[in-house]
Amino acid sequence: MSQTGLFVGGEWLQRAAEFSVYNPATGEEIATVVDANADDVSAAIDAAHQAFPAWSSTTAHHRSAILYRAWQLMLERKADLAQLMSLEQGKPLRAAANEVQYGADFLLWFAEEAKRNYGETIPSARADQRFIVQHQAVGVVAAITPWNYPVSMITRKLAPALAAGCTVVLKPAEATPLCAIEIFKILQEAGIPDGVINLVTAADPKPVGEAFCTNPRVRKLTFTGSTPVGKLLAQTAAPQMKRVSMELGGHAPFIVFDDADPVHAAKGAALVKFLNTGQACICPNRIFVHRKSLEAFTETLSARIAKLRVGSGLEEGVAIGPLVSEAALAKVEAQVNDATDKGAQLVCGGQRPASPELSSGYFYTPTVLTGVTEDMLIYRQETFGPVAPIIAFDDDDDVIGMANDTTYGLAAYVYTQNLSRAMRSFEALNFGIIGINDINPTSAAAPFGGMKESGLGREGAREGMMEYLETKLGGFSI
């Protein structure tokens, strides 16, 4: 399987320099893609800049029709895209298919939202004056997407940018370029004009990120990834006052109050904690359980995850796929070892699988820890792996304080049957997304994003398209 990965000005281009793509379940090479250089990145930005005047001048209905066609094509190829995602990223097939559906949802939502880019008139204090407000495309957008959701994170950025009338240069994660290539083929087939979308793959993301931040023709940078990298990109983009939106790390609390059904809450925790093998920024990282419910919750959670089969995402019945790399696996091991060394109890898991057939992949057994305290690494650091750390609490105010005791602010979860407590928790938790008895508070129609060091801006919903629009005021004297 040999691909290109360099799509500039409507053409797929070959280069001598390439890098390899590996299956994280086996460590085997599955493809090679172009390793773009500085000239390639510059050419892609130039192509987007040249295409912008014509594309931004098209009607919203025209852009909507193209996005709608892309949605249709993506659903037609759902099974193939899921298969590729499992091969390249390791995600179990069922979860991969769900992601493709989620990614397609953004194409449909913004196909519709493109036609709702409304302006307004504002009354003036002067009889001879009229104010008119329009929202116009910001310009060339540079987008950087992650490996953990290699399809939906692309459409979540490209769909609103294209709906708004922007042109785009995308750099996908170096671990998962093949999914990006297939999405670009779909968009090209749907009728996106030459130069409107451009793809650059690279083994080293740093030079591409620097080019995106320093090239004056790029007017907007959108990034999903780690908080340290997001901070660096924002700092580098600041001298040109580029618009930036950042969806960064998370450290989600999961709170189970004493009135909640601990069995029901544990079932929810098992589903969301081990989503994508724990490699999701909204996965719970600190599970706070009222001491009264601790035993029942822990027993249910442990029993459920003991049934999760670990293996290649391409195999039937597998729920826990590989981590993305050896470094990711080492980080998870280090956090678990640190916790147990400092007194945490290992309820289940806590090691690499013993099966010889899994020895060449980056696998870790789903793990439950109890007795977790604030001096442990796992209490402070995002894990991005299949480990559930449980912390007991006694007081409502204390647990809200513990939940907020982090520099992150992306997602949080609350289980309670008390409406007043639910509302108080919703208002008191400093997180951008809060699920109340709900482990999936996300949708293409809902704004996604975090507070504090979890990011800037929102994706999805009507806010998602506003990130790619400038507000222009006209004052008319008549």
Identify any residues that bridge with 455 across adjacent strands, giving them in sequence order. Answer: 247
- CA dihedral for 12, 14, 18, 23, sign (positive or negative): positive
Cα–Cα distance for residue pair 279/250, rounded to 1 Å: 11
Helix (H) or strand (E) holding 159: helix 152-164
* Strand segments (E) across 230-340: 243-247, 252-256, 284-290
Q: Which residue has the tokens 């789903």?
A: 366
Token duo for residue 25: 């379940």
Token duo for residue 379: 């209490």
Per DSSP, the residues of 131-193 read EEEEEEE--EEEEE--SSSTTHHHHHHHHHHHHHT-EEEEE--TT-HHHHHHHHHHHHHHTPP
Tell me the pairing of strands 367-370 and 345-348.
Answer: antiparallel
> Which 3 state secondary structure label does DSSP give 345?
strand
The neighbour count for residue 236, using CB atoms within 10 Å, is 17
Burial classification of residue 472, based on how many CB atoms lie within 10 Å of its CB (0-12 exposed, 13-18 middle, 19 or more buried): exposed
Q: So which residues are the catalytic ones? A: 247, 281
Per DSSP, the residues of 352-415 read ----GGGTTS-----EEEES--TTSHHHHS---SSEEEEEEE--HHHHHHHHH-SS--SEEEEE
Cα–Cα distance for residue pair 195/307, rounded to 1 Å: 49
Cα–Cα distance for residue pair 35/20, rounded to 1 Å: 9
> Which 3 state secondary structure label does DSSP give 275?
helix
Burial classification of residue 307, based on how many CB atoms lie within 10 Å of its CB (0-12 exposed, 13-18 middle, 19 or more buried): exposed
Q: Residues 325-337, buried b or exposed e (16+ Cβ, 10 A)? A: eeebbebbbebbe
Instruction: Check residue 105 and report its DSSP letter.
Output: H
Cα–Cα distance for residue pair 88/101, rounded to 1 Å: 18
Token duo for residue 64: 């909507």
Identify any residues that bridge with 348 across adjacent strands, giving them in sequence order. Answer: 368
Instruction: Check residue 309 and report its DSSP letter.
Output: P
